[in-house]
Structure 1
């Protein structure tokens, strides 16, 4: 019997991915489902959709929804949502971490490389997300990543994993994940796909669990 999987598309710098990561891991353990990690460059995913599906004139780059995405009130409201979910779930979060924005090649690469090596990418991915959104650490810093790898108990040399993360073939996988996300209709983070059924956002984990439970009962 083929093992069921959750295809897990996300940005390693996504706040709501962090808020859902521990619950997703617990769900996978509960139901014996494998999480297949697909770290992506979410900005490139969104740009691909804009170029493929955006009917607006090219001289109105920030018309409509794009302007809405950049609207300061939306950013303020997003922080309110962070606090609401943090309070509800009992998961601490930094509302505006100074390291929010940065490169994703190293932190995405360590998850991709760890998964390829058969290591516990579930634990590592969660720890990287928590380092940013709970502890406001610079996850693009190799020293930080080495510490997180060591703390995850992966039985691998942290420096070796960091080096593997930045190799051309690992970074090519990050690009491939990003392209696959567009092909499969992913348009946000986190995005879960179970048996071709999509679920966008950590606030949809209840529905994902319901679907997994239903399939296991049938």
Structure 2
């Protein structure tokens, strides 16, 4: 196991995080690197970002716009991108799930609680993302999430993990993750940081792989031929 972990900052409601989740798990297993999960509140993270000096009000509003506030043209293009990546990667996705927007506290807390217990947090995180983006399930529904966790056979009752997820201790860690992300310069989901170098977007997993293997740092080096990024 490599000593340097991947710091993984993401929203549990992010489409591109879902498209990269299983591939990140596979990459970590293949290369023997630990992934430390930092679920964040993306909306609050964006609010923390410093605006560019001299940027006008319209620029700032555009930079901080949530998907549901985008113009229809941009929204249609985002869905086109989801379809492209879905076909390319062979990963099914619902491009417009009705449960896309909703509370982040429970699903983010479940990931944090699983990580605290030393459970297979990569599998837990992927299952939550998949429930939303493949199955269009309400990942803020405690009973539904508990059942989902029970199906993973983690050795801990799903209801117990859900109870921990909404505890003050876990929710404080969730808030701290968002503050840490801002301090590290994270501005979007997913962002992977390895040895201090950020890689934003699931389309940069190939660069992350090269950086971990040491056969070319992420900066200035292309992905491996054939890498599905």
TM over 0.5: yes
Match of 1:85 in 2: 85
Structure having greater relative contact order (Cα 8 Å, sep ≥ 6): 1
- 2:62 pairs with 1:64: no
Alignment of 1:58-207 (within 5 A): 61=57, 63-64=58-59, 66-67=61-62, 69=65, 70-207=70-207
Conservation of the 8 A alpha-carbon contact between 1:41 and 1:104? yes
TM-score with structure 2 length normalisation? 0.88
Tell me the distance in 2 between the aligned counterparts of 1:55 and 1:48. 15
Deviations for 1:88-115, whole angstroms, at most 9, x for unmatched residues? 0000000100000000100000000110
Partner Cα separation in structure 2 for residue 215 and residue 170 of structure 1: 38
- Tell me the matched-pair count: 211
Aligned to 1:45: 45
CA distance in 1, matches of 2:150, 2:54: 48
Q: CA deviation at 1:4?
A: 2.3
Q: Which residue of 2 aligns with 1:26?
A: 26
Distance 1:30 1:193 in 2: 18
C-alpha deviation, 1:34, in angstroms: 0.4
Gaps of 5+ in 1: none
Deviation at 1:55, TM superposition (A): 3.9
The CA deviation string for residues 35-84 of structure 1, in whole angstroms up to 9 with x for no partner, is 100000000110111xx334468xx75x0253374222111100000000
RMSD of Structure 2 on Structure 1 (CA): 1.8
Partners of 2:2 and 2:34 within 8 A in 1: no
Q: How far did residue 2 of structure 1 move? A: 6.4
Are 1:124 and 1:148, in contact at CA under 8 Å, matched by a contact in 2?
Answer: no
Q: Specify whether residues 215 and 153 from structure 1 end up closer, same or farther in structure 2 by C-alpha distance, changes over 3 A only.
A: farther
CA distance in 2, matches of 1:47, 1:54: 13
Normalised by the length of structure 1, the TM-score is 0.92
| Unpaired segments ≥5 residues, structure 2 | 217-229
Instruction: Give distance in 2, aligned partners of 1:211 and 1:38.
Output: 20
